[in-house]
Structure 1
Amino acid sequence: MPSLGPLTRVDPLVRLLLVAIVLASLLPVAGTWRPVAQGVSNAAVFLLFLLNGLRLPRADVLRGIGHIRFLVPLVLWCFGALALAGWGLSLALASWLPPVVALGFCYLGTLPSTVQSATAYCSLAGGNVANSVVAAALLNILGVFVTAPLFSLLVGSEAAAFDFGALEKVALILLLPFLLGQVAQGRFGHYVREHRQLATWMDRTAIAIAVYVAFSGAVEEGLWGRVSLGDWGTLIAGVSLLLAFAFGGAWALAGSLALRREDRIAFLFSGAQKSIAMGAPLASVLFPAGVAGLVLLPVLVYHLLQLVLSAPLAARLRRE
């Protein structure tokens, strides 16, 4: 039986997210400091996507685009089937959860895949790591363009309007730094590769800052009073249902496409996992602080549970 190594321990990003939530609950940023904190969060998100642009080789992007038989069904699954499943759960749970938390299920469904953890578990399971890296990266690039308007389309413009102001924020804070990173990759990309550990911690810190600012606003709006113990039970049950559909459906769809086993494993982890690295920064850009924290609750629970499920699943696939 292969050792799971660091994947069996608590993920460092999970620890940082828990610290951010506890800190926001005890010391939420409020009043005149909130615009300052939002500015710091936006700057951190800008840096996060700049590093992503420097890190992802353009050749990998172009090569991944050519794998149509693998990539097109994956995109349709991630932004089609899972988006509709999240939307359906948001409607089904609207009378059981606070409305903004229920909307978070639809937001969760429209998010792209993870990059780092999907690749790590794909490697552990004996899958096609190259396909996993390229697919997850391309899904995240598409997510910059697709997630916000798709979410607005599904829930209705009254619940989540997506206008030119929101598009401008997404372009300036997410897309622009990524493109700058791609342009500067030849000159500065090697610094990111040579200091990979530092870049990874900068990624995690940027995500934690976005979560802290979002949850601070939610705490100021009465988060812990609005979400009861029963609501948490319903939230976890709903996320577990979506998680089972995501993993089971991705595996079945990849099998129906007659993909090679290593490609099927890559499809599973790239198609079933959802990205807190995209979800938290994008929520901080799209929603007011008090709303963003509540919308992120399903995303945070899903992120934790997908890590709990993926480690033993990857080990089992490796043994088989």
Structure 2
Amino acid sequence: MARSRLLPDNFTLYLIATVILASLFPAQGVFADALAWATKAAVSLLFFLHGAKLSRPAIFAGIGHWRLQLMVVATTFALFPLFGWALAPVLRPLVTPDLYTGVIYLCALPATVQSAIAFVSMARGNVPAAVCAASASTLLGVFLTPVALSLMLTQDAAMGDPLEAVGRISLQLLLPFVVGHLMRPWIAGFLQRRAVVMKVVDQGSILLVVYAAFSHAVVDGLWSQLPLSAMAGLLAVCALLLAVVLVLTAWGSRRLGFAKEDEIAIVFCGSTKSLITGVPMANVLFSASVAGAIVLPLMVFHQMQLMVCAVLAQRYARRADAPAAEVTGAAPALRR
């Protein structure tokens, strides 16, 4: 069982295929301009649907556990970025400058939603608190990610004005999310009956954005400027960051007296990073010429977190005092 979890899932294979397609046949000219508009529309639709899927009772069930929520927010937007920035003397020599900017960007991103909830459910942790923590992290990331990046990156990192970025991110991601959530009473049932369509929109939107980002990067010479040693260094950097945060969240949760179920929610919501938010946000925050290199660390970290957290969730689930699995609306797909 654990061995199968170490293999790439289908969505990861689609991502790899998309990168290869963009490398061989990058979008250029009029097609690239049309693709840019299509990606914006697809991402807005994606966040509209995610807002419609978000259950308000689940939010209220978890929001009362303020100590847990504060721990996840502090880990995601303070501890993680602090490590990425403080370890610069160790991390920077292992990768190229653009990849290191991507590592800093990775550290400042919000937590993933569906994967974190699925891991917490698999590990028999506090699922309502995880739903609240992961959802709140996504919404806070609209404001906190640009701010954190502006504090950690230099002016030559190809990042625009952070306040302007917050406005553009809010318009493209937050507004559709809120509108979708407000329309949930009327469309939630329809969406539940169209799970296959939801999956296609979900994964298709990310693949479209990845293709657009890597097309720009390939045209500007991404692969000719990226040595194999930098890719090996990137794997080491992502492994180090993930290991440090997993250890510290587990240790900190126990030191602060959290129950085991709460510790599980903190570990998985605090250590994971969102591909579904990170890829579109990179197109807003960074110039098209570097966006492909910026999201590459996120894609590597994404697969690494899925493999490691799946094994860790199984270890948590086998503990002697584990309660019966809670029935939730979270899908077990470990995509994001």
| TM-score exceeds 0.5 | yes
How far the C-alpha of 1:13 sits from its partner, in A, is 2.3
Per-residue CA distance 1:87-115 (angstroms, 9 max, x = gap): 23455433442211111111011111111
Q: How far 1:157 sits from its partner (Å)?
A: 4.1
Summarize the alignment of residues 164-313 of structure 1 with structure 2, pairs less than 5 Å apart.
164-313=163-312
Give the Cα separation in 2 of the matches to 1:93 and 1:218.
Answer: 22
Shift of 1:197: 3.3
Deviation at 1:304, TM superposition (A): 0.8
**Residues 89 and 33 (structure 1), Cα distance of their counterparts in 2 relative to 1, 3 Å cut:** farther
Alpha-carbon distance, 1:176 to partner? 1.0
Deviates more, 1:63-72 or 1:219-228: 63-72
- 3-state DSSP of counterpart to 1:32: helix
Q: Is the 8 A contact 1:125 1:314 kept in 2?
A: yes
Name the structure 2 match of 1:110: 108
**Amino acid in the other structure paired with 1:215:** F
**Deviation of 1:4 (Å):** 6.5
Is the contact between residue 142 and residue 166 of structure 2 (CA under 8 Å) also seen in structure 1?
A: no
Q: Tell me the amino acid that sits aligned with residue 154 of structure 1.
A: M
Letter in 1 for 2:317: R
Choose 159-168 or 174-183, whichever is displaced more. 159-168
Report what 1:101 is aligned to: 99
Q: Residues of 2 paired with 1:232 and 1:5: CA distance? A: 25
| CA distance, structure 1, for counterparts of residue 3 and residue 115 of structure 2 | 14
Structure 2 counterpart of 1:12:
10
**Match for 2:80 among 79, 82, 92?**
82
Runs of 4+ in 1 over 4 A off after TM superposition: 3-9
- The number of aligned residues is 318
| CA 89–209 in structure 1, closer or farther in 2 if over 3 Å, else same | farther
Per-residue CA deviations over 1:264-319 (Å, capped at 9, x if unaligned) read 11111111111111111111222222211101111111001111112221112222
1:168 CA drift (Å): 2.8
Secondary structure of 1:237 counterpart: helix
Which stretch has the larger CA shift, 142-151 or 227-236?
142-151
Give the share of equivalent positions with the same residue, in percent. 36
Deviations 1:52-93 (A, max 9, x none): 110112333344332101101110111000011122345543
CA contact (8 A) 1:216 1:289 kept: no
Checking the alignment, whether the CA contact within 8 Å between 1:149 and 1:162 is kept in structure 2 is: no
**Contact 1:89 1:105 (C-alpha < 8 Å) held by counterparts:** no
The answer to whether the Cα contact below 8 Å between 1:42 and 1:285 also exists between their aligned partners in 2 is no
Which consecutive unaligned segments of at least 5 residues does structure 1 have? Answer: none
Preserved contact between residue 62 and residue 130 of structure 2 (Cα < 8 Å): no
Hey, what does 1:141 align to over in structure 2? 139
In the alignment, the residues of structure 2 paired with residue 139 and residue 94 of structure 1 have an alpha-carbon distance, to the nearest angstrom, of: 27
- Aligned match of 1:21: 19
Tell whether the 8 Å contact from 1:77 to 1:250 is kept in structure 2 after alignment.
Answer: yes
Match of 1:68 in 2: 66
Q: What are the Cα deviations for residues 197-250 of structure 1, in whole angstroms up to 9, with x where unaligned?
A: 321331111111111111111111111111111111111111110010121111
Looking at structure 1, the residues matched to 205 and 11 of structure 2 have their Cα atoms a distance apart, in angstroms, of: 11
Q: Matches of 1:62 and 1:191 in 2, distance apart?
A: 23
CA contact under 8 A between 1:86 and 1:105: conserved in structure 2?
yes
Structure 1 counterpart SS, 2:92: coil
